[in-house]
Amino acid sequence: MLQIPHLPETRKLKALAVLTSGGDAPGMNAAIRAVVRYAIAKDCAVYGVTKGYSGLLEGQIQPMEASSVANIIQRGGTILKTDRCEAFFRKAVRREAAHILQRKGIEGLVVIGGDGSFTGAHLMENETGFPTIGIPGTIDNDIAGTEDTIGFDTAVNTAVDAIDRIRDTASSHDRIFVVEVMGRSSGYIALQTGIGGGAETVLVPERKIPVSKICDTIERGIRRGKTSSIIVLAEGRTPGNAQVLAQKLEDRGYATKVCILGHTQRGGTPTAHDRMLASAMGASAVAHLMAGHSNSMIGCRDNRIQLVPFKDVIGGKKTLSTALLDLGAVLAT
């Protein structure tokens, strides 16, 4: 169960702004809702910035009311839209962004996004002193300093549901299925999906497994009467990995199909867990800004919501649990 510490005592803050940046993730809307409603409850005005840093630079900044976030907690995506903004890599542009916010009387910025978005916020605060707080919103769960990110649980549930469906066909046709899930440099989605979906093999960027070993697992299954297998594969950095693996298995005489889940994992109704996490993190972000804390992310460690300085987050590597990887392998045999 998620532990929510008492939120810090507040000082008066006139207005803050919230934006979403980078890849969207289910639960971002629940986080926006919490930011808006918590701020208003504390007599702080809130502005919504449309389209991330690009919209900020274009001045797409609108006041939000409690009613602006009605009926969004259950919706995937982000009502504020999101974008990637090349210009924000430039110092002069970040300085201009801070001025745009200050001219509107805004005294703090909540950034819902990933490592890249936090880097932009961190640099802007270091260069201008403008207070920023990050909320981790990404399905990949690849952000250092937090055990969980908004959208991860939903993505895993979507992928497990897909595997349950694929297994019906795999067993009816005696096929091997390679199911590719998201995760360019991190195997979190693949690992949890593999364990939750009872996959025979899980392939993650953090641990390479030779094709011969995958074939050994398939053969072991066949000897025990299994006629089908599910291999969950994290997409990795090079596109087409699932096809390449399927071809190698075909070459060894195994009838293999590929299913790439792709963007189906990014959208959809957020799970109750992601809504809860987003609500707690959104409120905590506002409370910390109001208490004068900034240049940090709201993280979750030991199931507790807490403040983690951006410097301990950005560029950090989160290591995949080898114990979980081993467990997945044991349970699949």
Q: Specify the residue, 65 or 89, whose C-beta has the smaller distance to ligand ADP.
A: 89
The site string for ligand ADP over 134-173 (x = CB under 6 A, - otherwise) reads: ----x-----------------------------------
CB contact set of 131 (below 8 Å; sequence gap of 6+): 107, 108, 109, 125, 289, 292, 294, 295
Q: Is the dihedral of CA 69, 75, 76, 81 positive or negative?
A: negative
Residues in 55-114 that interact with ligand ADP by CB under 6 A: 84-85, 88-89, 113-114
Determine, following the binding rule CB under 6 A, whether residue 26 of this chain makes contact with ligand ADP: no
Q: Specify the residue, 75 or 122, whose C-beta has the smaller distance to ligand ADP.
A: 122
* Shortest distance (Å) from residue 113 CB to ligand ADP: 4
Q: Specify the residue, 21 or 50, whose C-beta has the smaller distance to ligand ADP.
A: 21
CA distance 80 to 29: 8
Q: Nearest to residue 106, comparing CAs of 30, 42, 49, 41? A: 49
- Which residue in the set 20, 24, 32, 53 belongs to the binding site for ligand ADP (CB under 6 A)? 53
Determine, following the binding rule CB under 6 A, whether residue 116 of this chain makes contact with ligand ADP: yes
Q: Specify the residue, 85 or 199, whose C-beta has the smaller distance to ligand ADP.
A: 85
* Shortest distance (Å) from residue 76 CB to ligand ADP: 16
Please identify the residue of the shown chain whose CB is closest to the bound ligand ADP. Answer: 116
Determine, following the binding rule CB under 6 A, whether residue 50 of this chain makes contact with ligand ADP: no
The number of residues that bind ligand ADP (CB under 6 A) is 17
Determine, following the binding rule CB under 6 A, whether residue 183 of this chain makes contact with ligand ADP: no
Residues in 268-287 that interact with ligand ADP by CB under 6 A: none
Q: Specify the residue, 117 or 128, whose C-beta has the smaller distance to ligand ADP.
A: 117
- Which residue in the set 23, 151, 183, 282 belongs to the binding site for ligand ADP (CB under 6 A)? 23
- Which residue in the set 15, 72, 79, 123 belongs to the binding site for ligand ADP (CB under 6 A)? 123
Catalytic status, residue 153 = no
Determine, following the binding rule CB under 6 A, whether residue 188 of this chain makes contact with ligand ADP: no
Q: Which of 24, 115, 140, 148 is catalytic?
A: 140
Q: Specify the residue, 149 or 271, whose C-beta has the smaller distance to ligand ADP.
A: 149
- Which residue in the set 107, 115, 206, 274 belongs to the binding site for ligand ADP (CB under 6 A)? 115
Q: How many residues does the chain have?
A: 333
CB contact set of 108 (below 8 Å; sequence gap of 6+): 13, 16, 17, 130, 131, 132, 133, 289, 294
Tokens 């006041």, residue located: 63
Catalytic center residues: 140
Q: Which residues bind ligand ADP (CB under 6 A)?
A: 21-23, 53, 84-85, 88-89, 113-117, 119-120, 123, 138
